[in-house]
Amino acid sequence: MQTLHFSNKKCSKILGIPSFGLTLVLLVCLASPISSCTEQENGALLQFLAELSQDGGLAASWRNGTDCCKWEGITCRQDGTVTAVLLPSKGLEGHISQSLGILIGLQYLNLSGNSLSGGLPLELLSSSSITTLDVSFNRLNRTLQELPSSTPGPLQVLNISSNLFAGQFPSTTWKTMENLIAINASNNSFTGQIPTQFCSTSPSLALLDLCFNKFSGSIPPGLGDCSKLREFRAGYNNLSGTLPDELFNATSLEHLSFPNNGLHGAIDGTNIANLRNLVVLDLGRNNFSGKISDYIGQLKRLEEFHLGNNNMSGELPSSLSNCTNLIIVDLKSNNLSGELTKVNFSNLPNLKTLDLWLNSFTGTVPESLYSCSNLTALRLSSNNLHGQLSSRIGNLKYLSFLSLGTTSGGSACQRMT
């Protein structure tokens, strides 16, 4: 079986694959095979080896006439059936042979972290046995082929991130993948609209990562049907339009991030309140406008709140104090105003980063802020704050970055130890 690990890290180009880190806690602990693998499976693996231009030294282990269950990276059942091909970061180059589709008992295929090129064989996506397919961090290109209509396969985890795939997500492909739990297609060059039928065809989908692509159009309302969706990342694309109301029906969401797109409109407070399981909300670098709703205070699990580089206005709601698990608050470069003293920062003991740069806040630095003893970065510059700092600033023993200047120049920033 595979274990899905969901992290709280934001979309980032160095996705260490990420977010659902395919921890293949698999079958490595299986008993040693009693029977040797079949001649057909032996031949299929040797064909895969033959199509590599660099085999990373596999040839020393993969020798014809020997039991392939004893080869490097191969795991078998006791009856000799190959169940896993695990060859991450082996220095492999060349194409992925379609012969791997002949391995009728293959459940886990991990070829991540190599330099494989060409396309992803249709035989692997349509396999009747593979449950986990990880080809991330390679040089695979071309488009994903349309899958023929057939009996739904058992694929649960698909990781094709950090490759060179282009073109659209083929719409028929997902109709035959009703068992999918996690899809990571981040850091590619996919274009077109985000498919609408992910959750109608894969009702157990828990993670969808589409960051760093070239998707355009609006966010499909149908994603609101994803009753088990916990992480949805689509930052660094070309998305436009507003957040569809239906999206907020996905009440299991813990991580929702769409940074660096062209989304706009107001963020409806009552809708946001539906997502009470949210840990990370990242809507930075878009064109959102309007006020931050008082309903934000109902997100009691929220740890990261990113709305920087938008057109938000109005005051910070006092209810932000109710989000007692907050670690990062990034609201820089907006049109926010009012006094910061409305927020009782002493209720935020875990706060490490507060970035309110380039807004229109007035008044003094709130006394309650000095109670955030874990604060490491504080940027309040380019606002209209006045007055003196309290001697209690000495309580912020972990503070390493402080910016309080009235201009946006770099000279306003001080490093603190």
**Residue 205 carries which side chain, given as an amino acid letter?**
L
Interacting residues of 352 by C-beta distance below 8 A, sequence separation 6+: 327, 328, 374, 375, 376, 377, 398
Interacting residues of 107 by C-beta distance below 8 A, sequence separation 6+: 26, 27, 83, 84, 129, 130, 131, 132
Task: Give pLDDT, residue 151.
Answer: 66
Tens of pLDDT, residue by residue over 153-162, are 899 999 999 9
Task: Give pLDDT, residue 11.
Answer: 52
For residues 187 and 164, the answer to whether their CB atoms sit within 8 Å is no
Residue in the structure block whose two tokens are 């709703």: 293
**Dihedral, 120, 123, 125, 128 alpha carbons, nearest 10:** -160
For residues 97 and 118, the answer to whether their CB atoms sit within 8 Å is no
Residue 415 has pLDDT above 60, yes or no: no
Helix (H, G, I), strand (E, B) or coil at 122: helix
Range with lowest mean pLDDT among 11-15, 139-143, 320-324, 400-404 = 11-15
Angle value at C-alpha 182, between 136 and 164, nearest 5 degrees = 30
For all residues of the chain together, what is the average pLDDT? 88
Tens of pLDDT, residue by residue over 303-329, are 999 999 999 999 999 999 999 999 999
- The domain covering 267-417 belongs, at the CATH homologous superfamily level, to Ribonuclease Inhibitor (3.80.10.10)
Radius of gyration of the CA atoms of the chain, in A: 25
175 φψ region: left (φ > 0), alpha (ψ -120 to 50), beta (else): alpha
For residues 310 and 286, the answer to whether their CB atoms sit within 8 Å is yes
Which one has a higher pLDDT value, 411 or 88? 88
Please name which of 379, 413, 382, 377 lies closest in space to residue 398, comparing C-alpha atoms: 377
Range with lowest mean pLDDT among 20-29, 250-259, 313-322, 347-356 = 20-29
Q: In the predicted model, what is the mean pLDDT of residues 90-108?
A: 97
Q: In the predicted model, what is the mean pLDDT of residues 357-370?
A: 96
CA–CA gap between residue 297 and residue 10 (Å, rounded): 21
Residue 408 has pLDDT above 60, yes or no: no
CA–CA gap between residue 202 and residue 179 (Å, rounded): 6
Record the tokens describing residue 236, joined without a space.
């660094």
Task: Give pLDDT, residue 8.
Answer: 40
